[in-house]
């Protein structure tokens, strides 16, 4: 029984030496590569997860951005259409107004021209009537020249008439 | 374990039977007829199995001459006697039948122990069964973990391949469940090589001890002492100011110092002592239980008891597989815990307390 709890020096020696050699060899050839690989892999996984999360967030942002842009574009389109309609309406109404005014102006001009022409024609007719009248009167007068007093009285009377005119 | 115990019961019987009368190793002979009458001694059988030996004994064969011949692997004997290094194979003793003479020194094998005939003192550095078993474990560990380590060079950082696939989770387990929680995220890396080596060294040796004919390496007090001393050295070398402060300047009134300081110093020594005893006792106890259960058959000399005995042995052997891993875990966990305690940094509460004192 005694040898059970009596440590033997030789076994301590060999165990100590072997354990230290084992520790040295395993540290160099096993623990370092294994732990390095595990740590690097864990870091990579963490980084990859973070990158994926970031990418996901970016995509979400992009989608939101796109939707915003789309909505804005739709609003812009509506606005442009509305503007165009308004412009069309205003152009139409302006054109209408302008056309009306132009028409009125043309009619007015025409009226004035007609009036002027009418006056001119009337004047001409008047002149012609006067000339004809004078001619007629002359012819009549030529025939009745013998009666001088009568003639002059007649002229006078006519002159007075003309003045009254 | 089962077979080894079974076989060795026969092999040990003659030796134990002769013990009360034998004074000389040369009388270590038993005839087949004498065997029948001899009383089976379970204590001797068990002691033989859990003790170290100079040869790796498997079983005894009954030769043509009716004598039992042990079948064993001889192991190197290395003795340092008064400055002389004597190296020879244990086979030279012929199982205690002959003496070995080296110069003026005559070595004799007496019940598994080497003695010098003239009483000269010597130191035994022999490659015993335990040492040989440990060498096997070292070769196994280096080849297994070396292969795992180099597989990362070959396969890069992808999923572990081959043996690394089995070993990597264990390594990660030691890191995440033993080292990091007890030592802390910042400082654990320095202690990983020791903790990993201790864990796998103890585990694989526990398992090798369960093999039929295996040695009781981790159930040897010299081994657990060596491992516990390593933990003690690492713990105290890493000890911070706070750790030493707790021992030599505890936060108690001055008049308690004569009590507290010895208590704390005993605490420093009792931690590794507990490590040593725990591993030794657990593994040895496991071996003793299995051997005792096998011995029942021979104590009662009744073959009808064999199935019961074997059933119990199977059950305990399964339990021992668990204990093998568990004790490796416990040793590593406590080592990490002790290192973690030695690394403690001053807390603010303590600082406030000291200010009050």
One-character DSSP codes across chain A:
-GGGGS--HHHHHHHHHHHHHHHHHHIIIIIHHHHHHHHHHHHHHHHHHHHHHHHHHHHHHHHHHHHHHHHHHHHHHHHHHHHHHHHHHHHHHHHHHHHHHHHHHHHHHHHHHHHHHHHHHHHHHHHHHHHHHHHHHHHHHHHTTT-HHHHHHHHHHHHHHHHH-
Give pLDDT, residue B10. Answer: 39
- Give the integer Cα–Cα distance in Å for B40 and B36: 10
Task: Assess if residue B291 is contained within a domain.
Answer: yes
Condensed to tens digits (0 to 9), the pLDDT of residues B324-341 reads 999 999 999 999 999 999
Identify whether residues B285 and B341 lie together within a single domain: yes
Name the residue in chain A with its Cα closest to that of B194. Answer: A23
Label residue A20 by pLDDT band (50, 70, 90).
Answer: very high
Identify whether residues B298 and B339 lie together within a single domain: yes
Task: Assess if residue B357 is contained within a domain.
Answer: no
Identify whether residues B190 and B282 lie together within a single domain: yes
A75 touches chain B (CB under 8 A): no
Identify whether residues B173 and B223 lie together within a single domain: yes
Q: How many domains does chain B have?
A: 2
Residues of A in contact with B124 (CB under 8 A): 8-10
Which residues span the domain enclosing A123? Answer: 10-164
Task: Assess if residue A97 is contained within a domain.
Answer: yes
Identify whether residues B322 and B339 lie together within a single domain: yes
Which residues, 6 or more positions from B341, have their beta carbon under 8 angstroms from its beta carbon?
A: B235, B243
**Partner residue opposite B192 with nearest CB, options A19, A31, A44:** A31
Identify whether residues B233 and B98 lie together within a single domain: no
Identify whether residues B43 and B166 lie together within a single domain: no
- Cβ-based burial of B248 (10 A; exposed 0-12, middle 13-18, buried ≥19): exposed
Q: How far is B68 from chain A, CA to nearest CA, in Å?
A: 26
Condensed to tens digits (0 to 9), the pLDDT of residues A104-117 reads 999 999 989 888 88
Domain boundary residue, one of B93, B124, B155: B124
Chain A / chain B CB contacts < 8 angstroms:
130
Task: Assess if residue B356 is contained within a domain.
Answer: no
Domain boundary residue, one of B69, B96, B124: B124
**Partner residue opposite A37 with nearest CB, options B123, B157, B175:** B157
Task: Assess if residue A3 is contained within a domain.
Answer: no
Q: How many domains does chain A have?
A: 1
3-class secondary-structure state, position B184? coil
Find the range with the poorest average confidence among A78-82, B63-67, B137-141, B302-306. B63-67
Distances (CA, A) of B42 to A62, A117, B20, B21, B151: 81, 159, 15, 18, 48
Identify whether residues B168 and B98 lie together within a single domain: no
Task: Assess if residue B40 is contained within a domain.
Answer: yes
Name beta bridge partners: B114.
Answer: B109
What angle (nearest 5°) sits at the alpha carbon of residue B139, between those of residues B5 and B318?
A: 35
Residues of A in contact with B130 (CB under 8 A): 11
Task: Assess if residue A4 is contained within a domain.
Answer: no
Distance of CA B21 to the CA centre of its chain: 32
DSSP B252: S
**pTM of the entire predicted model:** 0.73
Q: Which two tokens stand for residue B7?
A: 């076989």
Identify whether residues B29 and B63 lie together within a single domain: yes
Residues of A in contact with B138 (CB under 8 A): 18, 21-22
Task: Assess if residue A152 is contained within a domain.
Answer: yes
Chain B window 152-211: which residues touch A at a Cβ cutoff of 8 Å? 152-153, 157, 160, 164, 167-168, 171-172, 175, 189, 192-194, 196-197, 200-201
Which residues span the domain enclosing B288? Answer: 130-349
Residues of A in contact with B284 (CB under 8 A): 4
The answer, yes or no, to whether residue A90 has pLDDT greater than 60, is yes
Query: Where is B287: in which H helix or E strand?
Result: helix B257-300
């Amino acid at each position: 029984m005694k040898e059970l709890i009596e440590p033997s020096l030789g076994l301590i020696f060999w165990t100590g030496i072997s354990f230290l050699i084992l520790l040295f060899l395993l540290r160099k050839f096993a623990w370092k590569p294994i732990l390095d690989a595990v740590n690097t892999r864990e870091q990579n996984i963490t980084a990859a997860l973070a990158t994926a999360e970031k990418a996901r967030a970016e995509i979400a942002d992009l989608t939101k951005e796109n939707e915003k842009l789309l909505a804005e574009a739709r609003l812009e389109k509506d606005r442009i259409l509305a503007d165009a309609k308004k412009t069309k309406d205003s152009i139409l109404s302006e054109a209408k107004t302008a056309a009306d005014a132009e028409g009125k102006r043309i009619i007015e001009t025409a009226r004035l021209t007609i009036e002027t022409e009418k006056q001119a024609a009337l004047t001409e007719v008047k002149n012609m009537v006067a000339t004809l009248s004078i001619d007629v009167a002359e012819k009549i007068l030529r025939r009745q020249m013998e009666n001088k007093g009568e003639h002059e009285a007649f002229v006078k009377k006519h002159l007075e008439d003309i003045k009254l005119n | 374990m089962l077979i080894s115990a079974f076989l060795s019961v026969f092999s040990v019987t003659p030796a134990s039977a002769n013990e009360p009368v034998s004074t000389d190793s040369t009388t270590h002979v038993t005839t087949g007829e004498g065997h029948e009458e001899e009383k089976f001694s379970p204590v001797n059988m068990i002691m033989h199995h859990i003790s170290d030996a100079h040869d790796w004994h498997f079983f005894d064969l009954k030769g043509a001459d009716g004598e039992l011949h042990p079948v064993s692997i001889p192991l190197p004997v290395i003795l340092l006697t008064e400055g002389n290094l004597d190296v020879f194979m244990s086979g030279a003793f012929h199982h205690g039948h002959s003496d070995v003479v080296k110069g003026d020194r005559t070595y004799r094998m007496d019940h598994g122990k080497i003695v010098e005939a003239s009483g000269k003192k010597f130191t035994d550095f022999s490659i015993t069964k335990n040492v040989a078993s440990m060498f096997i474990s070292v070769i196994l560990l280096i080849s297994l973990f070396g292969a795992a380590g180099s597989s990362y060079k070959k396969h890069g950082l992808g999923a572990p391949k081959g043996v690394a696939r089995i070993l990597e989770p264990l390594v990660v387990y030691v890191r995440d469940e033993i080292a990091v929680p007890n030592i802390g995220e910042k400082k654990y890396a320095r202690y990983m090589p020791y903790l990993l080596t201790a864990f796998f060294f103890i585990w694989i040796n526990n398992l090798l001890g369960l093999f039929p004919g295996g040695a009781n390496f981790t159930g040897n007090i010299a081994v657990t002492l060596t491992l516990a001393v390593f933990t003690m050295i690492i713990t105290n070398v890493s000890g911070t100011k706070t750790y030493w402060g707790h021992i030599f300047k505890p936060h108690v009134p001055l008049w308690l110092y004569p009590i507290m300081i010895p208590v704390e110093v005993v605490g420093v020594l009792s931690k590794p002592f507990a490590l040593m005893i725990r591993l030794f006792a657990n593994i040895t106890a496991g071996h003793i239980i299995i051997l005792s259960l096998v011995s029942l058959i021979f104590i009662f000399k009744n073959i009808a008891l064999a199935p019961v005995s074997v059933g119990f042995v199977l059950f305990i052997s399964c339990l021992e597989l668990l204990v093998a891993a568990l004790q490796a875990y416990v040793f590593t966990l406590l080592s990490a815990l002790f290192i973690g305690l030695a690394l403690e940094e001053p807390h603010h509460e303590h600082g406030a307390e000291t200010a009050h004192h």
